[in-house]
Structure 1
Amino acid sequence: MKRVYVNEEWCLGCHLCEYNCAFANSNEDRMVKALKDKKIRPNINVEENKDIHFAVSCRHCDDAICLKSCISGALTKKDGLISVNKEKCIGCLTCVLVCPYGAVHPDEENGVVDKCEFCTNNLKGEPNCVKGCPNNAIVFEERG
Structure 2
Amino acid sequence: MARKTVFIDFSKCIECRACEVACEREHNGRSFINVFEWQEMAAMALNCRHCEKAPCVEVCPTNALYRDEDGAVLLAPQKCIGCLMCGIVCPFGIPELDVLDKIMMKCDLCSHRRAEGKLPACVETCPTDALLFGDFNDIQRMRRREFTEKAIEIAKKGERISLRAL
Q: Deviations over 1:26-45 (max 9, x none)?
A: 2xxxxxxxxxxxxx421111
Using the alignment, how far apart are the partners of 1:104 and 1:71 within structure 2? 15
Q: Provide the residue aligned with 2:32 in structure 1.
A: 43
Q: Deviations over 1:13-34 (max 9, x none)?
A: 11111110011112xxxxxxxx
Stretches of structure 1 lacking an aligned partner (at least 5 in a row): 27-39
Q: Deviations over 1:95-139 (max 9, x none)?
A: 011100122122233221111111113563100001111111111
Secondary structure of the residue aligned to 2:19 is helix
Select 2:60's aligned residue among 45, 64, 70. 70
Using the alignment, how far apart are the partners of 2:110 and 2:136 within structure 1? 19
Q: Is 2:127 the counterpart of 1:137?
A: no
The count of residues paired between Structure 1 and Structure 2 equals 131
Secondary structure of the residue aligned to 2:21 is helix
Alignment map for 1:5-44 (pairs within 5 Å): 5-26=7-28, 40-44=29-33
Report the AA paired with residue 73 of structure 1: N
Secondary structure of the residue aligned to 1:102 is coil
Quick one: percent identity of the two aligned structures?
34
Greater fraction of residues in helix: 2
Using the alignment, how far apart are the partners of 1:143 and 1:81 within structure 2? 11
Report the AA paired with residue 53 of structure 1: A
Q: Provide the residue aligned with 2:110 in structure 1.
A: 119
Alignment check: 8 A CA contact 1:25 1:122 kept: no
TM-score by length of 1: 0.84
Stretches of structure 2 lacking an aligned partner (at least 5 in a row): 138-166
Secondary structure of the residue aligned to 1:63 is coil
Alignment check: 8 A CA contact 1:43 1:116 kept: yes
Using the alignment, how far apart are the partners of 2:25 and 2:30 within structure 1? 9
Secondary structure of the residue aligned to 1:41 is coil
Secondary structure of the residue aligned to 2:82 is coil
- 4+ runs of 1 displaced by more than 3 Å? none
Using the alignment, how far apart are the partners of 1:93 and 1:122 within structure 2? 27
Using the alignment, how far apart are the partners of 1:138 and 1:102 within structure 2? 20
Secondary structure of the residue aligned to 1:121 is helix
Report the AA paired with residue 108 of structure 2: E
Q: Provide the residue aligned with 2:92 in structure 1.
A: 101
The structure number with the bigger radius of gyration is 2
